[in-house]
Structure 1
Amino acid sequence: MSVYINDLVEESLNHRAVNHPYLKALADGELPDTEWALADFANHYYGYSLHFPRYLTTVISKLEIAEHRNSLLENLTEESGFYGDDEYAELAAIGVEREWIEGVPHPQLFKRFREATGVTAPYSPDKEAIELVCWRESFLTTLTHGSAAEALGALGLGTENIVSTIYIPFVKALSRTNLSPRDTVFFPLHTAVDDHHQEALEEISLHFAATPAGKGDLRRGMIKALSLRSSFWDWMYERALTRADASAMMLAS
């Protein structure tokens, strides 16, 4: 891995999107009502997670080298719920049973989690919060209209590179609930399998980092994706704290 890509990886992992107070509060059990916050997250994040295959296919369509496209197509296969024997063995070692995930697309796994938290109302795009819509549309704009390097920076260095880290706080928070491992498998799955996605995207990034323009576009896409996610965490954190304020006012009245 080149020094430049390593530096970008390090920069992304030090970004506020990865070290946000919302994530820390989830991990440490410091939110006033963790179960409510998890249900709120499940409700709103679904509108982002649901479109992940679309994000991936958008980037694939921008890649000119067949080897690069094929590498990401393997990621798309895993997003559809199909893994190699090595992945199944790795997942079994952390308690993920094959029958929970085999043939189940990742958006469906998140929907399973969403419903387990008590969010049973059918998903309706017309009822999405504007904060979520702005995040998804801005992210898609970067992937669609940016250069191949910028799109790769957004999806790879700014997204897949951080997923195995940012989902750890959710795993910790969920361990303090009564939700079953099957219903919450989306999170440990991504802390393990997404390392493979990350490696594939970083290898492709090396190709674009060979030119000054490519380097600049990789970082631009990365920072855009990280900044958008950080803003979403800001909103989630404010909602979690406002919920506590509203509950306190009700008790005082």
Structure 2
Amino acid sequence: MLTLSLLLAASTPLQAVELRRLPAPDAGQGVAADRRYVYAIDNHAIAKIDKASGQQVARWDGDPAKFPHINSCMIRRETLVCAASNFPNVPMQSMIERFDARDLRHLSTESLGGGYGSLTWAVRNGGSWWACFAQYDGRGGEPGLDHRNTTLVRYGRKRRVTAQWRFPDAVLDRMTPKSASGGSWGKDGLLYVSGHDRPELYALRVPKGGGTMELIATIAMPTGGQAIGWDPTAPRTLWSIERKTHALVESRIPPVLQP
């Protein structure tokens, strides 16, 4: 049986607390953060913004024909590692784009090919890469598939697939007709995922070896979906974007009690 504290937690909606907003015309797809800067991400543009002043210090503009759809980025060893695809074209093709985080110079393109879907985010955790491949209802979706075919894949060495997971129906129903636009591991061992539109964050438990993830909590957010990024300088502080107002939003995420 659940303890009284767990029962109370389950019946109380979790709410993120907004801390501040920074204007960013390029806040169209997502955001990443390091200790000093935040990075506004759009389909084929990235802006580097100083957290303290809100001033843009660098910007990259790509050729839309070569970079049709950058979805999200994360920072690893002064490199901006970005998930990208050819959305809304089919058959779906996915790739990893790498940039120097210091000046946003493009470094390389790594093709992941097709097979699972459209790559929306890729993050490093526990010595492995975790990648989310989206499927969609209608525009941008592949024939015979829909958002329920969205897949989380774990890669080992030499891009060998070591396991894969599907999203729980409770989350898929909330994301329809789109998919999981953002994702990042929390220090509590849960995977935090955002959809495309709803102002919500889903805390998921990922079973070992594959299968179906488990929804632990839904957290109300001040922004509507898209790619997210933890701030490395403050516990449980997450950056997200508000597409309508072109803003980067910093929020405090409440602790999630795990049964």
Give the TM-score category using the shorter length: under 0.3
TM-score by structure 1 length? 0.24
Bigger fraction of residues in helix: 1
TM-score by structure 2 length? 0.23
Bigger fraction of residues in strand: 2
